[in-house]
Amino acid sequence: MLILLRQGKISKWFSGIGQEAIAVGAALALQDDEWIMPLHRNLGVFTSRNMPLSKLFMQWQGAQEGYSKGRERSFHFGSREHHICGMISHLGPQLAIADGVALAHKLKKENKVSLGFTGEGGTSEGDFHEALNVAAVWDLPVIFLIENNGYGLSTPTREQYRCISLVDRAKGYGMEGVQIDGNNLLQVYDTIKGIREYCIKHQKPYLVEAITFRMRGHEEASGTKYIPQELFDLWEKKDPVKNYEQYLLAQGVLSAEEIENIKNETKNKIEQELAIGMNIRPVIADTEEELNDVYAEREVRSQKSGVRILDNSDLHSDPTAIGSGPDSYRGATSDLRLIDAIKQGLHQSMEVHENLILMGQDIAEYGGAFKITDGFVTEFGKSRVRNTPICESAIVGAALGLSLEGYKSMMEMQFADFVTVGFNQVVNNLAKIHYRWGQQADVVIRMPTGGGVGAGPFHSQSNEAWFVHTPGLKVVYPSTPIDAKGLLIAAINDPNPVLFFEHKALYRSVSGAVPQDYYEIEIGKARHVMEGDEISIITYGSGVHWAEDYAAEHSEISIDILDLRTLLPLDYIAIRDAVQRTGKVVILHEDTLTGGIGGEIAAWIAENCFNLLDAPVMRCASLDTPVPCSVELENNFLAKARLGETINKLLSY
Ligand SMILES: Cc1ncc(C[n+]2csc(CCOP(=O)(O)OP(=O)(O)O)c2C)c(N)n1
């Protein structure tokens, strides 16, 4: 690797020289179908899982024939076939994915563990703490393996943490831990093998701290000037490969000649594989393939026995049907509030999908902050309706881990505001994983959102635009009970990560007829709420109700209303139609103005529908301030306060 790097034949590489015993010993101690979450220094995991070297060489050249179609660098890729979960650069988030996989094993009652790597530097991340805490609280069979090599880039351990040994932290989490010589291959192998059995037998996690040393720079370019030479001299004597060789010689397991033969065979194999691996074609960008690979394709839906499946067309077979009622639907309906419709959609999904797991703070016996899962635990049991510690990042990561093992999951953010502490997992792990190495993230995150409830800056935010800007996610935002149920069911059936926004102020204030059947509303399709020919209001969420109220109070204006329902992907055909109907458009949203989705839609209309416009597109959004608490301030903050003014301005243009 070092030679190839110097020859410019592979791109960036992080050396594991001096640390080989940990990756190799740990990988060999596990079964081949047990997931490992390796990091940048763990070449030994990839080779121990017998990945073809030729394909690895292709990966390291950034070739399309590698493991990530040329989309990822060095070791940032995974392979389902080899049960290796590709890392994201952020290090710590890998550990919570191991939690999710271990949870899947526990639920399936399989005798398996997962194993997550971290450097000692990565242990300072909150993700380390969250992952260990969740594993301990949920009694998950997962091995956390710290490779303590003395430095995190240039930062020595004394500037990284204050405890004497990192393994001492195990006690704080309520788990067992052990410190081992990470340069002794047999010790690593034996320890991990024994711990694996312990984790399976006792259904518990385990923390291992393997002491080692990094014999080269963080990566080759950054050098090693900050490390005293004595340390290299000391650790050179402890080289894991040389010492193992000596051991085998001393024990009479191998002769000097046999060792020489093994080396030659290995060298020849590397040369042969390299010759194949160098035989790559130049990367050819295919925009369509690039875009298509961002999302997992949904399998054709199969009708489960006993479940009547309706879709959008059953409910609205007349494409000009107006309003949110089940226009053409002849089946039984109930008059439900938005919150009840969500509850029903979730409940039916739990019945249909035995592999659907719900996770969130206080969602079990307590029924959730808004009582959406009230009663679920009695019916579906605590293993499927799971209270979580206050560890948003780890729970999103665990949801991804469940997905690796074929589970679906729904995580309830107690309030959409708290997604900030799970943000990295959402936008970097869930969103990018399919594009990076073809793994789906079958996860729905429910996001109780929005203001108008006097709850102040941290319980009222509209943060949907953050996610609309993230390729790989889907963002859904219903405004009516019938849509909320059908869209939630569709979100759960979708194999991609979906952020499902539920407006808190609409939970109990909006109701309507909802089919009792299990049905879907198609993600990505807007709803034409009201026909008009003077002005089009394109909106979603609470904006739909503000627009409807305004139209009811101003019958003198012919108002057309479009409810987007999904914000990613946007329904551009419906947007175009709305522009065409009136030529005058207001985009209305509760989110603040700058960087809100209104700007995106306005730009798209300007680029694509300019000839249909009779006036500039106007945006009506909330003030560019945090959400204030006092009712007077909040009323002034919300976009609704400026809707009439915006409409008048547009009409008089
Ligand atoms: C969240 C985050 N912060 C910073 C970095 C940059 N970075 C990459 S590796 C590294 C050092 C990691 O040290 P350690 O966890 O001890 O692992 P080692 O590289 O020593 O194997 C740093 C700072 C990063 N990748 N992610």
498-532 confidence digits (pLDDT tens)? 999 999 999 999 999 999 999 999 999 999 999 99
CA distance 511 to 509: 7
Phi, psi of 243 (to 5 degrees): -65, -35
Beta carbon of 119 within 6 Å of any ligand 1 atom: yes
Count Cβ neighbours within 10 Å for each residue of 634-646 and write b for 16 or more, e otherwise: beebbbbebbeeb
Alpha-carbon dihedral angle through residues 125, 129, 131, 132, given to the nearest 10 degrees: 140
Beta carbon of 89 within 6 Å of any ligand 1 atom: yes
Beta carbon of 562 within 6 Å of any ligand 1 atom: no
CA distance 495 to 443: 7
pLDDT number for residue 326:
57
In tens, the pLDDT along 273-324 reads: 999 999 999 999 999 999 999 999 998 765 555 566 777 777 765 544 544 4
Beta carbon of 74 within 6 Å of any ligand 1 atom: no
Q: Give the pair of three-digit tokens for residue 113.
A: 């563990």
pLDDT number for residue 313:
72
pLDDT number for residue 319:
42
Q: How far is the centre of ligand 1, averaged over its atoms, from the C-alpha of 621 (Å)?
A: 40
- Please state the atom number of ligand 1 nearest to the C-alpha of residue 19: 21
- Please state the atom number of ligand 1 nearest to the C-alpha of residue 14: 19
The answer to whether the beta carbons of residues 125 and 156 sit under 8 Å apart is: no
Give CA separation, 128 vs 95, 98, 200, in Å.
7, 11, 22
Please tell me the residue having the least CA distance from ligand 1 atom 24: 90
- Please state the atom number of ligand 1 nearest to the C-alpha of residue 39: 21
pLDDT number for residue 323:
47
Residue with tokens 């009323």: 635
pLDDT number for residue 329:
77
Residues in the chain, pLDDT under 50: 319-320, 322-324
The answer to whether the beta carbons of residues 373 and 412 sit under 8 Å apart is: yes
Give CA separation, 22 vs 149, 181, 204, in Å.
11, 9, 21
In tens, the pLDDT along 383-412 reads: 999 999 999 999 999 999 999 999 999 999
Q: How far is the centre of ligand 1, averaged over its atoms, from the C-alpha of 120 (Å)?
A: 9
pLDDT number for residue 320:
45
CA distance 238 to 555: 84
pLDDT number for residue 11:
82
pTM: 0.97
Task: Please list the residues that pair with 179 across neighbouring strands.
Answer: 209
Residue of 76, 88, 91 with the most ligand 1 atoms within 8 Å of its CB, for mutation? 91
Beta carbon of 353 within 6 Å of any ligand 1 atom: no
Which residues are catalytic, by number?
A: 459
pLDDT number for residue 173:
98
To the nearest whole number, what is the mean pLDDT of the chain? 95
Q: How far is the centre of ligand 1, averaged over its atoms, from the C-alpha of 166 (Å)?
A: 17
Give CA separation, 356 vs 185, 191, 204, 370, 599, in Å.
40, 35, 23, 20, 36
Please tell me the residue having the least CA distance from ligand 1 atom 17: 119
Give CA separation, 217 vs 88, 324, 495, 619, in Å.
20, 62, 41, 52
The answer to whether the beta carbons of residues 444 and 409 sit under 8 Å apart is: yes
Q: How far is the centre of ligand 1, averaged over its atoms, from the C-alpha of 148 (Å)?
A: 12
pLDDT number for residue 159:
98
Q: How far is the centre of ligand 1, averaged over its atoms, from the C-alpha of 406 (Å)?
A: 30
In 186-293 the beta strands, taken as DSSP E runs, fall at 206-211
- Please state the atom number of ligand 1 nearest to the C-alpha of residue 120: 16
Q: How far is the centre of ligand 1, averaged over its atoms, from the C-alpha of 91 (Å)?
A: 7
Q: Give the pair of three-digit tokens for residue 348.
A: 């039916």
- Please state the atom number of ligand 1 nearest to the C-alpha of residue 149: 20
Q: Give the pair of three-digit tokens for residue 589.
A: 């949203």
Beta carbon of 18 within 6 Å of any ligand 1 atom: no
pLDDT number for residue 301:
66
Beta carbon of 121 within 6 Å of any ligand 1 atom: yes
Q: How far is the centre of ligand 1, averaged over its atoms, from the C-alpha of 153 (Å)?
A: 7
Q: Which residues contact 248 (CB under 8 A, 6 or more apart)?
A: 254, 259
- Please state the atom number of ligand 1 nearest to the C-alpha of residue 122: 15
CA distance 518 to 466: 31
Beta carbon of 122 within 6 Å of any ligand 1 atom: yes
Q: Give the pair of three-digit tokens for residue 302.
A: 């199969």
